[in-house]
Amino acid sequence: MLVPFDHSALRRLWNVERNSTADFINVFVDKTFQIKFHVSPPVLSDWKDFLIEHLTEAFPNHTTIEDYDKIYSLYRIYRSVKYKDRPPTPRDIKVFINQIGAYHRIWGDSILLYYQALYVLYKIDIHSNFEAFSKPDFIDQRIKNTIGDDFLRWMAVLHFNVEPPNKALQILIGKDIEDAFRNRDQNILRTLSNTPGFLVVCEQMVEENINEWIKTEPEIITSAAYVLEDLSKDTEISLTNIWNHIHNAIPRVESLPKLDEAIGNGLAAIMKASESEEYEMIASHIIQLISKTEITGVKQDGTK
């Protein structure tokens, strides 16, 4: 009778000190099996062929061989970080492919196969640390170099199980964008601007919330203008549609809760970003808002 076993798996069966565990396992194996053979782990080229062969078998209608090479690269890089270059077992590879197959049954080829593979690799990390999902260093840079910068939107689709990709991305970073507006946090918004699809999500965030902001929190509009002015200046990205929403909203603001330096900076940013034909109208309305708003943070003699 042949009995395959793994020393590391046996070690996990007993909860004792590490050195004691090693001695215990050796005694157990020596008493149980008269002859033992050591099977060397597969070399790199062998398990690559094994992976691609089983990918081809699992997805017979998928003819893009380059995708299989990318999946191999993703798997190799991920394991080099997670398992310190310990080669995968055939069972590891089969489980990995089966998990890809589960997502492929749902999404088919509407999402690139290597994006589905990437999500399989990182899904446990994503579930356990959701807030880190959109952080720049969440995915190994070598993986980004392999598959490009658009992966985040599709991983969000897989994670939230929603379409289209921009809607999934809005769920992912929309709250962070709104918080950056509320807190006038230019650094956070600048970091988020590196996320593929940021401008689309930012525009959706403003478009969907601005009517409510006009009624209940008009200071968020001025805060958004303040942080967006800095972003546009530093990154030279186009924010035309977002500014249009802000400029169309300002004349509908009836009052401000207060007038401090931060809100004043936001109002100034709105005026600076105004087109010449609308500047006079926007400036006139801002002057009216200022005239009927209590100024805070200024002493009676006019100093801060």
Model confidence at 148, in pLDDT bands (50, 70, 90)?
Answer: confident
> Could you give the C-alpha distances from 224 to 15, 123, 177, 266, 270, in angstroms and in order?
55, 33, 9, 7, 10
* Domain carrying residue 109: 42-161
Judge whether residue 68 has pLDDT over 60. yes
Judge whether residue 95 has pLDDT over 90. yes
**Tens digits of per-residue pLDDT, 177-224?**
888 888 888 888 888 877 767 887 888 888 889 999 999 999 999 988
Number of domains the chain is built from: 3
Backbone torsions φ then ψ of 13, nearest 5 degrees? -75, -25
Judge whether residue 8 has pLDDT over 80. no
Query: Do 153 and 176 fall into the same domain?
Result: no
Global model pTM greater than 0.95: no
Average pLDDT for residues 67-75, to the nearest whole number?
93
Query: Do 60 and 193 fall into the same domain?
Result: no
| Listed residues 126, 143, 161: the one ending a domain | 161
Token readout for 296 is: 């805070």
Q: Higher model confidence: residue 257 or residue 135?
A: 257
Question: Minimal CA–CA distance to 273: which of 248, 294, 256, 298?
Answer: 248
Query: Do 244 and 290 fall into the same domain?
Result: yes
